[in-house]
């Protein structure tokens, strides 16, 4: 993507509030996805949100800058 196109796209997304200002990830969201993909056979049985994600970095940043 060309820089000008990226800038235009970014502005459009920001104006429409498409991106979650807190990153859009939570343990529940990851667990939901893991459960869904396990049910469809795309992931092996036994995976959990804690096994596939580490949200500590996101949480640390949001704790520092404040959640919106």
pLDDT per residue over 13-60, tens digit each? 989 988 888 888 999 999 999 999 999 999 999 999 999 999 999 999
The boundaries of the domain holding residue 48 are 21-68
Average the pLDDT over 3-11 and give the result. Answer: 94
> Has residue 9 been placed in a domain?
no
> Has residue 32 been placed in a domain?
yes
In this prediction, residue 55 carries a pLDDT of: 94
> Has residue 4 been placed in a domain?
no
Task: Count the neighbouring beta carbons within 10 Å of the beta carbon of residue 15.
Answer: 8
> Has residue 1 been placed in a domain?
no
**Token couple for 63:** 């704790």
Q: Which residue has the tokens 């104006």?
A: 15
The total number of structural domains in the chain stands at 1
Q: Which residue has the tokens 């800038």?
A: 7
In this prediction, residue 54 carries a pLDDT of: 95
Cα separation, 12 vs 23, in Å, equals 18
Cα separation, 19 vs 9, in Å, equals 12
In sequence order, the 6+-apart residues with CB closer than 8 A to the CB of 33 are none
> Has residue 45 been placed in a domain?
yes
> Has residue 2 been placed in a domain?
no
């Amino acid at each position: 993507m060309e820089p000008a196109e990226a800038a235009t796209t970014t502005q459009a997304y920001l104006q429409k509030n498409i991106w979650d200002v807190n990153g859009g990830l939570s343990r529940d969201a990851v667990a939901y996805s893991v459960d869904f993909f396990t049910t469809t056979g795309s992931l092996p049985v036994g995976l959990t949100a804690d096994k596939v994600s580490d949200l500590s970095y996101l949480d640390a940043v949001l704790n520092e800058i404040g959640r919106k």
